[in-house]
Structure 1
Amino acid sequence: MSEHQPPPPGWSPPPVGPATQPYSSTPASWSPAPPLRAAHKPGAIPLRPLSLGDMYDAAFKIIRFNPRATVGSAILVAAVAMTIPLLATAALGAALDLSMADGAFTTSDDPASMSGEDIAGFMGVLGSLAVGGVLQGIGLILVGGMIAHVVAAAATGHKLSLGQAWAATRGKRWRLIGLTLLLGLATTLIITLYVLSWVVVAMTASGWQVPVVYGVLSVPVFLAFLFWFWVRVYYLPVPALMLEPIGVLDALGRGFRLTRGAFWRTFGIALLTFVVAQLAGTMLTAPISLLSQGVLLGGLPGEAGVFLFVLGQAVASVVTAAFVAPFTTSVATLQYVDLRMRAEAFDVVLMQRSGITRS
């Protein structure tokens, strides 16, 4: 059809719509996309899935802005527990004239002259340290429950005092201790069964080849199972028990379900946190440990040597508890919150608790 040829009968130009409009380099209807809205952050964490940096930043903020309910509670528990070995050492030292010579406990310059009563006294000193350690461990279990509430409150912009954090654990304290004992027994049973398997292999093997092969095959599998047990069973039941209206067995189930599909991420953060906490605790207590070992190896005579040695151990234990317990418990609780936000839209619940209305 030529340029001047009339159109055929019935022909009409096509409608002009969005798909047939002539191309324009600057369409009039274009406008830039609105910027992404930042996550709400009423408290220590943004109410969205958390990164490792978010968790560590929040953990240090919670400890820094609420030291009484975090570090203070850990120091209080550890100091009270470590008072027992100090008092026991002072009493035994006065009664038995304990001293330290050649890097060992003695009651005279000749270690061979120690009587049964003297040996019992030294066993009492070591036993009091063990008792103090057990009581400190039980106390730190309760501190962990308190810190879980402190972290949950900080996520919504609230601050709990030491008394409020303790009151928040009411009704859950014995369950928390029972959960810890149950997890400890389960861990002990797993290790015991593996050790017994080695005994069976050693007793039934006729040569060295079978134990070697068993070790090469079983040790990696056993370590992998321990890591799996730590992440899927051991790691998250405590914050679940403290922050939800559930019992011990349900808390174990909650931890197992929350880590489903998130094993490697949970494991990586948990392992890194453990390593960081242990290194920091070692660095903080290194001067105290060196002084304590110097007293032990130098053989400071009299009751003062024994007492200073026990005092060094007690102070190192308190310093370690003051940092390790608040930090590791805070990070574990933040991982619990993060997993719930990822799987259950827990951020919406936290918004409601903090008074934020979604738009």
Structure 2
Amino acid sequence: MTDLLAPPPAVDAGRRVVAARTALFSRRIDVRAAVVTLTALLLAMAVGVLALSLGDVAFSPGEVLATLVGLGDSRAELVILEWRLPRVLGALVFGLALGVGGAIFQSLTRNPLNSPDVIGFDAGAYTGALLVITTVGVSVTTTAAAALAGGAATALLVYLLAFRRGFTGFRLIIVGIGVASMLASLNTWIILNADLNIALVASAWGVGSLNLITAEQVLVATCVIVPIAIAVALLVDRMHLMEMGDDTASALGVRIGGTRLALVILGVGLTAVVTAMAGPIAFISLAAPQIARRLTGSASVTLTASGAVGALLLVSSDVLAQRLFAPTQIPVGIVTVCLGGVYLVWLLIQEARRR
């Protein structure tokens, strides 16, 4: 299965790059990766404009753009800016965070099957949220805090169990799958023993949904995600060196243990924030880095392209969730799971053709 999901062969050293130099930094930019990232971002914004225009009260794309720059009428401002825009911005920001978080874990373990939802962090966040929902009650603040705590505690447990005389990505995945399975059983038991109304609310939250996202939640999430993204950017060179193996990275001056732990914490932070605000949204963290890797033709994970593809996937999935059975809206997590199944079937077909 690892071969099935493996990236395309590394391209030759003749890839076109440009040098970007300022007084603060100097970096070589891969032209193809930059084009893929920019294209994915533009497509994501275009889908966002489409999402703002669709609904019971429809607007043309021109009316949407006019309203976004302050030239719309009062009705358009109410519907577009206050009702629809927070959800679209949430999809873009959360998708970007999930894409980058998944890329971090796939880079650390050098395994394309790895993502936070696969190795149990989402299940841990769900457990934390369930404990609060079924005991204290439904509250955005307490549920988000409990989800963050549950995801962080699960990540620490998986990391400690996987760290035995060294760290291996395969061991992390196996331990994570085991912990996720136990937590899934615990979550099912909690829901079965809860009051019916509370169980329905908890089950809906556990699917992953953007239906009730507010501007305040998006602002809080953005204020957390931006510093984490900056910290990831500072470690990205060391992360790519570690993809060549611990011995090579260590010989090049990378502190393996500290860098890996820092990246794990940052990756968990990105996914836990999204889970706390919108519930566990599956598939994005797993698929976005691999799709970006194929589009860029890169031999290693590209964080910016992964984030851009993640934003495009989630905002597109949310449009489908809103309009597929309109006027009924389904949780976006259902759409992402279905897309994930289609994606894996496509990979199986590709593998069968190669053989």
Q: Using structure 2 for the length normalisation, give the TM-score.
A: 0.31
